Amino acid sequence: MNRITDFDTLRRAMADNAEQPEGPARNARAEQLLAEAEKLNVPLAVIEALGHQLKVYNYSSEKDKMFVPFARLLRMWDERPGDFDEYETHSLHWVFKWMSAGMLDQPHIPLAAIEKWLGEMEHRYRLAGHSERAVRSAEFSVAAHTGDLDRAERAYAAWLTADRDSMADCHACELHGQGWWQTQRGADAEALDLWAPVLDGEFTCAHEPHTVLAASLAPLLRLGRLDEARAHHLRGFRLVRPMESMRAAYADHVEFCALSGNEARGLELLAERPAYFTDTGHPRSRLEFMCVVTLLMDRLTELGLGGRQVPGPAGRVWTARELAAHARAEALGLAARFDQRNGTPYVSERARARMERRPLVDRLPLGIRAERLSRTGRPAQPVPAAPVAAPPAGGADAPDLAALLAEARRLSDGLEPNAVEAWAAVSRAAEGVELDPRARAEIADHRAMDLGPEGAELFERAAELYAEADDPGEALAARTRAAYVRALGGQVAEAVHAVAEPYDRVLGLYAEGATGVRQTASVLMGRARILMRRVQDADDAAQGPESGAAPAEQAAPHGAPDGTEPDHDAPETGGPASGAGRDTVLAEAGAAAREVLALVEGHAGDDVRLASRAAEARAMLAELAVHHGDLEAAAELFARASGAYVDAGLPWFAVEYEARLAGLAHHLGDTAEAERALKAALEHGGPQLEATGRAQLHLQLAEVLGTRDLSAEAAEHALEAAHWADEAGGGPTFGAWARHLLGGFLLRQGRCAEAAEVLESALLDLTVETHGDGAIVQTQWWLGDCLSELGEHRASAERRLQAAEIARHWPEQHDHATLAHLAAESLGHAGLPAEADRAYARAGDLWRSLGNVHGLVRSLRGRAWLALGAEDSADTARELMTLALRECESALNAASDEETRQRLTAELGHTHRQFGDLLARSSAEDAGDGSIQAAFAEALSEVAEAVEVFATLGYEAVHSRTGAELAAGWLASDLGRSAEAAARARAVLTAYEDAEDGDDEARARRAEAEQLLRVAREQEDR
134-163 pLDDT tens trace: 999 999 999 999 999 999 999 999 999 999
Burial of 1008 (0-12, 13-18, 19+ CB in 10 A): middle
Report d(CA 29, CA 35) in Å as an integer. Answer: 10
Q: What is the mean pLDDT of the chain?
A: 89
Of 257-266, 412-421, 784-793, 946-955, least confident by mean pLDDT is: 412-421
Report d(CA 435, CA 512) in Å as an integer. Answer: 30
Report d(CA 421, CA 450) in Å as an integer. Answer: 9
Distances (CA, A) of 414 to 409, 649, 653, 674, 687: 8, 9, 12, 30, 17
Bridge partners for 379 per DSSP: 373
- Output the pLDDT for position 1004: 92
Amino acid identity, position 971: L
Distances (CA, A) of 722 to 128, 367, 685, 768, 988: 58, 6, 18, 19, 53
Report d(CA 283, CA 348) in Å as an integer. Answer: 14
Bridge partners for 204 per DSSP: none
Mean pLDDT in residue range 297-315? 96
Check pLDDT > 60 for residue 571: no
What digits encode the pLDDT tens for the residues 624-677? 999 999 999 999 999 999 999 998 889 989 999 999 999 999 999 999 999 999
Q: Report the Cα–Cα distance between both ends of the chain, in Å, rounded.
A: 54
| DSSP sequence for 66-100 | GHHHHHHHHHHHHH-GGGS-HHHHHHHHHTHHHHH
Q: Please say whether the beta carbons of 495 and 478 come within 8 A.
A: no
Q: Kindly report the pTM of this predicted structure.
A: 0.84
- Name which of 656, 648, 642, 596 is nearest 416 in CA terms: 648
Cα-trace Rg, the chain: 38
Q: Is the peptide bond before 209 cis (omega within 30 degrees of 0)?
A: yes
Check pLDDT > 80 for residue 404: yes
- Output the pLDDT for position 543: 62
Bridge partners for 318 per DSSP: 310
Count of all residues that appear for the chain in the document: 1022
Residue 122: phi and psi, rounded to 5, are -60, -40
Q: Which residues, in sequence order, are CB contacts of 664 under 8 Å at separation 6+? A: 572, 573, 626, 631, 634, 635, 638
Check pLDDT > 80 for residue 689: yes
What digits encode the pLDDT tens for the residues 206-262? 899 999 999 999 999 999 999 999 999 999 999 999 998 999 999 999 999 999 999
Strand (E) or helix (H) holding 310:
strand 309-310
- Which pairing describes strands 318-319 and 309-310: parallel, antiparallel, or unpaired? antiparallel
Bridge partners for 319 per DSSP: 309
Report d(CA 717, CA 699) in Å as an integer. Answer: 7
Residue 557 is given by DSSP the state -
Strand (E) or helix (H) holding 319:
strand 318-319
Q: What percent of the chain has pLDDT over 70?
A: 92
What digits encode the pLDDT tens for the residues 98-141? 888 889 999 999 999 999 989 999 999 999 999 999 999 999 99
- Output the pLDDT for position 553: 36
Of 258-272, 277-291, 681-695, 988-1002, least confident by mean pLDDT is: 988-1002
Long-range CB contacts (within 8 A, 24+) of 576-584: 576/627, 576/628, 576/629, 577/535, 577/538, 577/539, 577/542, 577/627, 578/538, 578/539, 578/541, 578/542, 578/543, 579/538, 579/541, 579/542, 582/538
Q: Using N-to-C axis directions, what is the helix angle for 608-627 and 517-543, rounded to 10°? A: 20
Residue 388 is given by DSSP the state P
What digits encode the pLDDT tens for the residues 818-853? 999 999 999 999 999 999 999 999 999 999 999 999
Bridge partners for 205 per DSSP: 208
Q: Which residues, in sequence order, are CB contacts of 465 under 8 Å at separation 6+? A: 437, 438, 440, 441, 444
Q: Is the peptide bond before 399 cis (omega within 30 degrees of 0)?
A: no
What digits encode the pLDDT tens for the residues 515-557? 999 999 999 999 999 999 999 887 776 665 433 333 333 344 4
Strand (E) or helix (H) holding 968:
helix 958-974
- Output the pLDDT for position 545: 42
- Output the pLDDT for position 432: 84
Mean pLDDT in residue range 742-769? 96
| DSSP sequence for 980-1016 | HHHHHHHHHHHHTTT--TT-HHHHHHHHHHHHHHHHH
- Name which of 730, 738, 726, 727 is nearest 702 in CA terms: 738
Query: Strand, coil or helix: what is 318?
Result: strand
Burial of 823 (0-12, 13-18, 19+ CB in 10 A): buried
Report d(CA 51, CA 96) in Å as an integer. Answer: 12
Binning pLDDT at 50, 70 and 90, where does residue 564 land? low
CB atoms within 10 A of CB 706: 20
- Name which of 231, 268, 272 is nearest 367 in CA terms: 231
Higher confidence at residue 578 or residue 707? 707
- Name which of 149, 132, 222, 141 is nearest 186 in CA terms: 222
Bridge partners for 310 per DSSP: 318
Amino acid identity, position 577: A
Bridge partners for 309 per DSSP: 319
- Name which of 251, 270, 275 is nearest 61 in CA terms: 275
Distances (CA, A) of 440 to 78, 419, 423: 100, 16, 11
| DSSP sequence for 475-495 | HHHHHHHHHHHHHHTT-HHHH
The b/e string for 370-396 (b: 16+ C-beta within 10 A; e otherwise) is bbbbeeeeebbebeebeebeebeeeee
Q: What percent of the chain has pLDDT over 90?
A: 75
